[in-house]
Chain A
Amino acid sequence: MFLTEATVIDHLEIASGYYRMILETPKISCQAYPGQFIHTRISDQYDPLLRRPFSIHRIDRKRGRIEILYRVVGKGTHLLTKARPGYKLDVFGPLGNGFKVDRYLKTAIIIAGGIGVAPLLTLGEELVKRGVSTRVFIGAKTRGLILCENEFKELGCEVRVSTEDGSSGYFGTVTDMFRDFLLSNEDISGSSPSLFACGPYSMFREVALLTRRFNIYCQVSLEERMACGVGVCLGCAVRVKGGVYKRVCKDGPVFSAEEVAWNDNSQAYC
């Protein structure tokens, strides 16, 4: 992990309320792998006080860059939208345990709900690089908020999109779309796929149930309010089976879906 200054190279609103920021930070880009995050100070003032965690969206080791993709949800992210190219951001990372990709993996499924696509694009790039056949399911509220469809297509992934208002692709949630897919491809577990998901809590719960039923190994990237980012403050607790808590920042943010006690966690957490 490094505590370093990253230079904003580019910062663009790619959909209403959704921003992509390219950061130059050679040390972090060199060490990072899919599923990890950076912990960023928004300003040198004390309000907002705490750092904000952002999934690493893309890693460009050659140019020493990383990208983050974020949705404006509050004071911190709102302030961050003002950062112009050239601005130096105080960044701490890469942090956390990311996705585990088995070296013999042949097929993968990616499920992204809303801004949950953030950590999954760099994972998709990694999977394709390793020759893993990757299917991608992207869900959003409406057509204009479908993120990264083209990026995944350019990688050569098979991409399906859903919208909750039916304005594009499948009419329904991404889990509805995925369930339909599974029901018409019941032999899917024969290829021993791995599934990687990130999205809202309700999506995680559904995906966890479906993957158990269809015997698919599933990893989820969780989100929690965080303070330290390194496992010392115990603020970002998630309840796992056995009645204990794990730290999203240090033990995760990626967990096996089997490990998480889905019924015991507050719906409010994301």
Chain B
Amino acid sequence: MITPKLTVNISGIKMRNPVMVASGTFGYGEGYENLVPLDKLGAIVTKGITMDERSGNPSPRICETPSGMLNAIGLQNVGLKNFINERLPYLRQFDVPVIVNICGESVDEYVELSKRLSEVSGIAGLEVNISCPNVQRGGMIFGKDPDLTYEVVSKVRKSTHLPLIVKLTPNVGDITCIANSARLAGCDAISLINTLTAMAIDIHTRKPKLATITGGLSGPAIKPVAIRMVWEVAKAINLPIIGQGGIMDAQDALEFIIVGASAVSVGTGNFVNPMATLEIIDGIRRYMIEHRIDEIDQLIGSVKV
């Protein structure tokens, strides 16, 4: 029997396996500590960090939809300073790459965030969030425009030596166009997809189910969209891709890997099954044994079309 090699290297971020947790679904690594040993994961992506602490959107912030959920948290987070002083020390204790998701209201804020985070130890990479649909300034505004994407990514690139991942929004016409802008601007990897802008109505009150009216759809409902987009980007550009969107089990993760993702992130799946990540790692390993695949690299982008 072979012992499959699950390690992946995403532009210098060395991971023991390709299974990560998606931003905003694992806090700052502290919520599931009794169930999921952090050092079993490929990497952790933190909640989106902004310059200043943010209190987030009014309630209700979430609602369930068929095989999915809407959220409009509004980037509630502790802010850069508190993150560095109070949350990062906890994460440093674990032998796992920590990727910090950053979100600015302006290009300057993205630059400042990346500069400051590059000066501290314990961070393996940055994920530039140009795809949050739930804030009024910044976020998805950058990720919907190829020129703005280029501007923010190229400036962040100049301000950090850390591996740079850009997280894209699916709420665009041509995802490869945005991905290409990010590549030209010098990013090291692409992460996709963030949530799809969506809406739900309570027919009894005739009011939207979210206080912010619209929110971001996640969960199994969006997986086919995410698979299609990962496939498109993988064909178009030569950069590692972190695939995400509705991954619940190993089959889902393998689909992403086969269409071209070098790693995957579990998001909403953690809420449904807190052990999802560990089960997925195990499931990928079993699949590789069964199909006599020695290295995960042999699977990445192996789709037969």
Distance in angstroms between the alpha carbons of A245 and B75 in the assembled complex: 12
Given contacts A3-B274, A245-B76, A268-B205, contact A231 B27 (CB under 8 A): yes
Q: Is the CB of B61 within 8 A of A231?
A: no
A269 touches B73 (CB 8 A): no
8 Å CB contact of A266 from B27, B60, B68, B275: B60
Interfacial residues of chain A within 36-79, with CB under 8 A of chain B in the complex: 41, 46-51, 75-76
**In the complex the two chains form, is A49's CB within 8 Å of B59's CB?**
no
| A-B CB proximity, top 5 nearest | A232-B27, A232-B31, A235-B62, A230-B31, A227-B271
Chain B interfacial residues counted at CB < 8 A: 40
B217 to chain A minimum Cβ distance, whole angstroms, is 11
Interface string of A92-119 (1 = CB under 8 A from B): 1000000000000000000000000000
Distance (whole angstroms) from the CB of A238 to the closest CB of chain B: 7
A residues bordering B, Cβ < 8 Å? 1, 3, 41, 46-51, 75-76, 92, 224-239, 243-245, 250, 264-266, 268-269
Closest residue on chain B to residue A74 by CB atoms: B64
Q: A41-B272, A225-B61, A227-B69 are in contact. List 6 more A-B contacts (CB 8 A).
A: A49-B64, A225-B60, A233-B271, A244-B55, A250-B31, A265-B59
B1-39 toward A: CB 8 Å interface, digit per residue (1/0)?
A: 000000000000000000000001111001110110000
Which residues from chain B sit less than 8 Å from chain A, CB to CB? Answer: 24-27, 30-32, 34-35, 47, 55-64, 66-69, 71, 73, 76, 205, 207, 211, 219-220, 248, 268, 270-275
Given the complex of chains A and B, what is the CA–CA distance between A88 and B55 in angstroms?
39
Sample 25 A-B pairs with CB under 8 A, ordered by A number.
A3-B274, A46-B67, A46-B272, A49-B272, A50-B64, A50-B271, A76-B64, A227-B69, A227-B71, A227-B268, A228-B25, A230-B274, A232-B25, A232-B27, A233-B24, A234-B56, A234-B73, A235-B62, A236-B59, A237-B56, A237-B58, A245-B55, A245-B59, A268-B205, A269-B60
- Give the interface SS of chain B, mostly helix, strand, loop or mixed: loop
Does B34 lie within 8 Å of A228, measured CB to CB?
no
A260-B171 Cα distance, complex, nearest whole Å: 37
Complex Cα distance A268/B62, Å? 12
Please indicate the chain A residues that have their CB under 8 angstroms from the CB of B25 in the complex.
Answer: 228, 232-233
Determine the distance from Cα of A50 to Cα of B25 in the docked complex, in whole angstroms.
Answer: 13
Q: Are A239 and B58 in contact (CB under 8 A)?
A: yes
Docked CA distance A232–B270 (Å): 10
A91 to B207 Cα, complex, angstroms: 32
